[in-house]
């Protein structure tokens, strides 16, 4: 709950279910959502076109559309079951608004539809060494569609090596990053606050 608003979600209690990690909300999404409520970040996302990578069950996009109905938000994920779950969760929260939830698999990018967007968000998608390169590849593609788009990736740091490899691969692909330090965020959601989180803002060199 934030203000008078709620997000209602149907989600799994398991970390992995039906072969995917996408059927529950991960902690970096909750951490990042609290950061999005700060004035600084509200000004960044207000009324913008936003595309999320690896959306999971859709918490972040539903939350953002609850705090600003003018946001034009597109969920994406590689998993059909996850995409169906986003659509169901969306309906639980909005009866009239259309839900944009599209299949986008960073590992199968033979042809890309128009992916022009102002802002790219992703939470807890840096956990598997195998998907680091495809993830950075899609970031480069998104920057080709709009070189000024702002990219934010929030991660729970469970393994420093994975996080370091992500940063090293960003550097090798000529992308710059800035480590953001959220301050004065209200504590709204329930998650393990002793965990280590990082939010990177990523740019073209
Ligand atoms: C750990 S879950 C995080 C879900 C959500 N972002 C959150 O924070 O709650 C990782 C998500 O990335 C998606 N994913 C993994 N590999 C992907 C790929 N190659 N292309 C697109 N999405 C992918 C999974 O389907 C899953 O929904």
Given this model, what pLDDT does residue 138 score?
96
pLDDT in tens, 143-158: 999 999 999 999 999 9
Which residue has a Cα nearest atom 25 of ligand 1?
A: 22
pLDDT in tens, 102-133: 999 999 987 778 899 999 999 999 999 999 99
Cα-to-centroid distance, 45 and ligand 1 (Å) = 21
Cα-to-centroid distance, 147 and ligand 1 (Å) = 24
CA distances from residue 185 to 30, 125, 162, 182 in whole angstroms, order as listed: 12, 22, 26, 7
C-beta of 121 in contact with ligand 1 (< 6 A): no
| Domains delineated in the chain | 27-204 (3.40.50.150)
pLDDT in tens, 21-35: 878 899 999 999 999
Distance from C-alpha of 46 to C-alpha of 25, rounded to nearest angstrom: 23
The 8-class DSSP code of residue 129 comes to G
pLDDT in tens, 32-47: 999 999 999 999 999 8
Q: What is the mean pLDDT of residues 179-190?
A: 92
């Amino acid at each position: 709950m934030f203000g008078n608003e709620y997000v209602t979600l149907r989600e799994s209690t398991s970390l992995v279910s039906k072969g995917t990690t996408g059927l529950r909300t991960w902690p970096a999404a909750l951490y990042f959502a609290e950061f999005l409520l700060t004035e600084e970040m509200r000004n960044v996302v207000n009324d913008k076109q936003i595309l999320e990578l690896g959306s999971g069950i859709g918490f972040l996009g539903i939350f953002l559309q609850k705090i600003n109905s003018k946001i034009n938000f597109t969920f994406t994920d590689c998993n059909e079951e996850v995409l169906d779950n986003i659509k169901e969760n969306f309906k639980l929260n909005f009866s009239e608004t259309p839900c944009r939830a599209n299949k986008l698999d960073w590992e199968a990018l033979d042809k890309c539809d128009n992916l022009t967007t102002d802002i790219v968000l992703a939470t807890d998608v840096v956990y598997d060494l195998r998907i680091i390169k495809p993830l950075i590849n899609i970031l480069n593609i998104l920057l080709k569609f709009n070189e000024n788009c702002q990219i934010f990736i929030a991660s729970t740091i469970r393994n420093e090596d994975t996080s370091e490899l992500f940063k090293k691969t960003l550097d090798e692909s000529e992308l710059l990053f800035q480590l953001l330090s959220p301050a004065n965020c209200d504590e709204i959601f329930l998650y393990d606050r002793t965990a280590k989180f990082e939010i990177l803002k990523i740019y073209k060199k």
